[in-house]
Structure 1
Amino acid sequence: MRTLVIGGTSGIGLEVARARAARGDEVVLTGRDPERSAEVAESVEGDVAGVAVDLNDTHGLADALAGVGTVDRLVIAAIERDHNSIADYDVDRATKLAVLKLVGYAEVIHTLLPRMNDESSVVLFGGRAKDRPYPGSITVSTVNGGVVGLVTALALEMAPIRVNALHPGIVGDSPFWSGKPADVLDGYVSRTPTRRLASMDDVVDGVNFLLENRGVNATNLYIDGGWLVT
């Protein structure tokens, strides 16, 4: 089985790639930089290759993915962190993120669709900012909401291939959050019903569930410890 992880050179994407390789999958992971993609792939135990893919280079995605063969499992975890308020709106940053996450995600799937089969499955990454916005999340909240619509449309058009999305909350041991001050993280923990933040292992478990459970389709899975009920 071949798993392709778009955005697999760091963070949660890398943990997904490691987990899939540990299951025995042939894994292809991608990042923007060809040298780093190859270096990270070399560091992961198993049958792992690295490919350079830039989701903002939408017209170049077909060429970038030309060497990837059949795809049984596709995970698109690539993200771009953005702080963009409506009072101080940066059109260039907003456009970059919108293209990456909506047009780029869709073009990757368009490119790979002929290489999938009826048993293939796809997981896209959104995020909780669509439901719990914060100052500066204008673009992040917008594109993560767009992922929900994208999943619904893809599941209809790609049937019987399954398409789902995973929306993480605050992932406490991720590279982005683990360096935050303890009092900041404690504040989030206190507002989380499980009294613990989601972990990267929790997210990887969620990805594997969506990839493998054949009864789950057009679903948005939230990994946040029930944060939204508080």
Structure 2
Amino acid sequence: MTESKSIVIVGGTSGIGLELAKRRASAGDDVVITGRDGDRCGSIAAGIGARCRGLAVELSDPAAIGAALEGVEKVDHLVVAAIDRDQNTAVDYDVSRALRLVTLKLVGYTEVVHTLLPRMAPDGAVVLFGGLAKDRPYPGSTTVSTINGGVTGLVHTLAVELAPVRVNAVHPGIVGDSPFWSSKPPEVLDGYISRTPIGRLATMADVADAVEFLLRNPAMNGVNLNVDGGWMLT
């Protein structure tokens, strides 16, 4: 029988983070999920089961992260899956929106690691979330492409600095059943499917499975793993 783990999933109230939380609780792990709204987070945690509890954490307010995570006592695995989007261009640049997203994903991610590191097991593992806009930008992805590239660098430096704790990242492509993409018109998704070698888009379960692999495999360290069904090859 696999020994149960204590896992913290920052951004575990929806999408891939929620998918992962359900999987780990079902497997017998003790799960902490975080979200911006404490009441909503607690309700979602109760729905997952007795092995899950929720905490309110706002990554765009890094100074408050330490206090928000004070109740977490032990961490074997840490997944920082919270994301946001910012439609921003250099021509029409909104500084406030850009600063919020940069703070959330680079400063906030790092502050979560900083806060929980003293409570992490020596053989612990961290998985961060980036995205393939770092390699394939689109109109309006100025901030998103920049910060996802920053996640790559963050993984590299943390893997060296935090050793023997392992640090990796997943960079999903288009996740067809995610809340953001599932609402798109079929003709939009069909265009992406036609360019994906596996003949379908990645799913939330696919990405969650990749996260579990990175957490589980003791030789995976400093890796930025694309999960896109080969979309980046076309």
Range of TM-score over shorter length = over 0.9
Map of 2:121 onto structure 1: 117
1:14 aligns to what SS in structure 2?
helix
Mapped partners of 1:170, 1:32: distance in 2 = 24
Deviation of the 1:193 alpha carbon: 1.0
Mapped partners of 1:161, 1:9: distance in 2 = 25
For the 8 Å contact 1:4–1:27, the answer to whether it is kept is yes
Map of 1:61 onto structure 2: 65
2:78 aligns to what SS in structure 1?
strand
Determine if the alignment matches structure 1 residue 70 to structure 2 residue 74: yes
Equivalence map 1:183-222=2 (5 Å) = 183-222=187-226
Q: Indicate which of 76, 86, 91 corresponds to 2:95.
A: 91
Q: Indicate which of 129, 139, 143 corresponds to 1:139.
A: 143
Give the structure-1-normalised TM-score: 0.99
For the 8 Å contact 1:24–1:46, the answer to whether it is kept is no
Letter in 1 for 2:108: G
Deviation of the 1:45 alpha carbon: 2.9
RMSD value, Cα: 0.6
Deviation of the 1:22 alpha carbon: 1.1
The ranges of structure 1 where at least 4 consecutive aligned residues each deviate by more than 2 angstroms after the TM superposition are: none
Give the structure-2-normalised TM-score: 0.97
1:29 aligns to what SS in structure 2?
strand
Larger displacement relative to structure 2 (44-53 or 5-14) = 44-53
Letter in 1 for 2:227: I
Q: Indicate which of 52, 56, 79 corresponds to 1:52.
A: 56
- Structure 1: gaps of 5 or more residues: none
Map of 1:224 onto structure 2: 228
- Structure 2: gaps of 5 or more residues: none
Shift of the 46–19 alpha-carbon distance from structure 1 to 2, 3 Å rule, reads: farther
Mapped partners of 1:110, 1:66: distance in 2 = 12
Identity of aligned pairs, percent?
61
Over residues 91-147 of structure 1, what are the superposed CA-to-partner deviations in whole Å (9 max), with x where a residue is unaligned?
Answer: 000000000000000000000110012110000000000000000000000000000
1:176 aligns to what SS in structure 2?
coil
Map of 1:130 onto structure 2: 134
Letter in 1 for 2:80: I
